[in-house]
Structure 1
Amino acid sequence: MAKTKGDKDGKAGHGGVLERSPSHLLHRVLQLALDIYTEESGATGVTQRQFAVLAAVAENEGVTQTGLVRATGIDRSTLADMVARMIAKGHLERQRSDLDARANTVRLTPAGAAVLEESRPKAAMADSRILALLKPSKREGFLELLGEMAASDVHAAEAEPKAKKIKAPKADKPAHKDGKKDKKPKKDKAAKKAA
């Protein structure tokens, strides 16, 4: 059987680098989830991120954009652009915060509330289809793990003591022909005294 381009080192199948990479696998799952969401919402529906913003605003009436960043996980500059576009479409409105004159709060407009209500069953169907990819016994644990990961603070995790971090396995040292590992040569006692 001929090796494919991705199978040069014989590791393209089970157990290869990409199959053991959390970042790669999460990216693949995200792409799959977004494709399913797009199929369910249709060409004229809101995107998954727009739905997340509408839902977060509905659940946190008068939320600031900083609060929306925390609630959705969307980076600040992307969120600012999204909110501006959603205001232009008439889905959101911005007001000065009563608590902090420097901050703006965001509220749903009646049109935004209608779009959210129209989108809820489509988002629920997409979520059902995504979870259906797993065995029923694994679905709740999967959601719990995703929730833990989504709620984690990357910068706090980086500051943890090194002993708690998961280390990548080290490659074995080269071995002699007889199977024994190389050892550092011991200095002769006479050579130590001379030094």
Structure 2
Amino acid sequence: MKKSKHGDKVMSKNGLDTSPSHLLHRVLQIALDIYSEEAGEGALSQRQYAVLKALEGSEGLSQTDLVRVTGIDRSTLADLVSRMLAKELVARERSVTDARANLVQIAPGGKAALAEMEPRVAAADEKILSLLSAPKRDSFVKLLRKLTAAREEALSGEIKPRKDTVSDVEKPVKEKKGGKKKDKVSGKKMKKLPFPPLSEGVSEDATTEELVHAPVVKAVSV
């Protein structure tokens, strides 16, 4: 396949080729296109497959557990489960340990659909990885897993932002006055800002099932 030099020059000039969010979005689009090609028309969506795979072998999971395992945001997952209930891919019943909670279980129809999809998903994964040379495939998957784990740890509060995340512009400038050092930035001391959380995603009805979300910056008073 011949590469487009013109396209490469445009990407390089506008800086998109150095943007992780843009490149990951492009990779996501490629992955979903390949998944659709291998799955075929009328097959399980990637998110439906992820939910069934998470439920496989379990006695049922709460929707909170499914959010954590699949990475699908709560509102989208609730709508997704409702659709899967209507298609009899999953079933829902009251938890025996917590009367306030409902557990989602894989239904016989879901097991059959999952078994049918397994070889198609394996073929899609193989096709995606075939875009890389063999020595780089394991490293690519490990990096994706590492990014996911790091983000989950950050959201759970298990790790703190690094000290060097404050830019030079935000750092207090030390000035000598009367033989003493005083921190000044417009006469006020600066506070380090926390990392902004990522947004929780899009609905199942979106044109593209986007699993990578752009960061939403929340205003923090200083």
Compute the TM-score of the two structures, normalised by the length of structure 2: 0.66
Q: How big is each residue's C-alpha offset from its partner over 1:72-116, in whole Å with a ceiling of 9 and x where there is no partner? A: 100000000000100010000001112222211111111110000
Secondary structure, counterpart of 1:12 in structure 2: helix
AA paired with 1:148? K
Q: Which has the higher contact order (CA 8 A, sep 6+)?
A: 2
1:72 and 2:73 aligned:
no
Quote the RMSD (CA, aligned, Å): 2.6
Unmatched runs of 5 consecutive residues or more in structure 1:
1-5, 171-195
Q: How many residue pairs align between the two structures?
A: 161
- 2:54 counterpart SS class: helix
C-alpha distance in structure 2 between counterparts of 1:83 and 1:166, whole Å: 41
- Provide the secondary structure at the position in 2 that maps to 1:102: coil
Number of the residue aligned with 1:97: 95
Q: Percent identity?
A: 49
- 2:133 aligned partner: 135
1:162 paired residue number: 163
Aligned ranges 1:31-180 → 2 under 5 Å: 31-152=29-150, 153=152, 154-155=154-155, 156=157, 159-163=160-164, 165=165
2:92 counterpart letter in structure 1:
R
The aligned counterpart of 2:27 is: 29
Q: 1:25 & 1:113 partners in 2: Cα distance?
A: 35
User: Which is greater in Rg?
Assistant: 1
Q: SS of 1:61's equivalent? A: coil
Question: 2-side partners of 1:167 and 1:66: how far apart?
Answer: 36
Q: Distance in 2 between matches of 1:66 and 1:49?
A: 16
Shift of the alpha carbon at 1:12?
Answer: 2.2
SS in 2 for 1:95: strand
SS of the residue corresponding to residue 120 of structure 2 reads helix
2:72 match: secondary structure: coil
Amino acid corresponding to residue 162 of structure 2 in structure 1: P
Unaligned runs of 5+ in 2: 1-5, 170-222
The change in CA–CA distance for 1:29 and 1:157 in structure 2 (over 3 A counts) is farther
- Describe the superposition over 1:10-47 as per-residue Cα deviations: whole angstroms up to 9, x where unpaired: x6243641100000000000000000000001111111
Structure 2 residue identity aligned to 1:38: S
Identify the residue that residue 17 of structure 1 maps to in structure 2.
15
The answer to which structure has the higher helix fraction is 1
SS of alignment partner, residue 105 of structure 2: strand
Q: What is the CA–CA distance in structure 1 between the aligned matches of 2:129 and 2:158, rounded to whole Å? A: 28
